[in-house]
Amino acid sequence: MGLQLPKTIAAPGRRLLTGTLVGATLLFLSACDATDKDQLARFAMPEPATAEAPLTFDLWRWSWIALMIVGVIVWGLIAWVVVRYRRRSDDEIPVQTRYNLPLEVFYTIAPIMMVVVLFYWTVDVQNKLINIDPDPDVTVDVVGQQWQWTFNYTGQGEDGRTPYTVGDGDTIPTLVLPVDQTVQFNLQSPDVIHSFSVDSFLMKMDVVPGRVNKFQATPTVIGDYNGKCFELCGVDHSRMIFHVKVVSQADYAAYLVDLAAQGNEADKPLLGGSDARTQAGLDDDSEGGQE
């Protein structure tokens, strides 16, 4: 026979627990500033900053809404069963049913249908995000290497030359992009698999040795953003961060001229920093490293 608390003790204990939970919830909500509340409204996603980012954001938001609806239904059914089929005061055991065929069919088919719907919308969003416009406004060849980034503004310099910027262990590179222009990112690596992503672009793509992965984005909001490698790529993976500046088209043109004036311009895109190794197939004319 289990130990039971007297009602005079158990009831106040329950009230105390309830009051504590309610107080903690109110305290948590009162501590949230406007930024926190905005984050909650977006389900912790960054503010979309490209024309394509709302696709990812909407998929994320509606997935969470569907999850919460399913959770409420499941919790409601659990509560109903606990109350409806609890042991009565006469201490009789409730009716024990071995199976319920309609119910078993429902909880087999319903999860399958939810997975099918989620899979369909995920594939639909993915196909739209990786769709390539054959005539982008700007092309940037991105090289992820152990353990920094090289950004080539391919063919955008004078006489078709390529301005570039290279990060190293002491310098975090900055990727500058023009607002309202479709940018194609060509991603490649001379060593191991990396992963390229900018927080507010809501898009991530692997950078795989021996192949060039591509996606396009159209920045719509001028500002500063953060980017990094999302793939554990070695001991200094944490160094693979970069800054992103979305600027006006006039400022973008001036930036490219400034790169050329600094001597950061080449006849063709660079494959990486001075310590990078060239992966066969990315540049047939180079034996390795930076030009």
Q: Which one is predicted more confidently, 199 or 290? A: 199
- Of 21-30, 59-68, 154-163, 223-232, the one with minimum mean pLDDT is 21-30
Task: With a cut of 60, say whether residue 212 has pLDDT above it.
Answer: yes
Residues 5-12: what's their mean pLDDT?
48
Tokens of 9: 């003790």
- Of 5-14, 88-97, 123-132, the one with minimum mean pLDDT is 5-14
pLDDT band at 197 (very low <50, low <70, confident <90, very high): very high
Nearest to 201 by CA among 58, 63, 83, 56: 56
Q: For 83-113, what is each residue's pLDDT tens digit? A: 887 777 776 776 777 777 888 888 889 889 9
SS3 of residue 216 by DSSP: strand
* E-only strand ranges, the chain: 138-145, 148-153, 162-166, 174-178, 183-188, 194-198, 203-207, 213-217, 223-229, 241-247, 265-266
Q: Which one is predicted more confidently, 179 or 263? A: 179
pLDDT at position 21, please?
Answer: 65
Task: With a cut of 90, say whether residue 175 has pLDDT above it.
Answer: yes
The whole-angstrom distance between residue 73's C-alpha and the CA centroid of its chain comes to 28
Q: For 213-242, what is each residue's pLDDT tens digit? A: 999 999 999 999 999 998 888 888 888 899
pLDDT at position 276, please?
Answer: 57
- Of 18-22, 191-195, 202-206, the one with minimum mean pLDDT is 18-22
Task: With a cut of 70, say whether residue 8 has pLDDT above it.
Answer: no
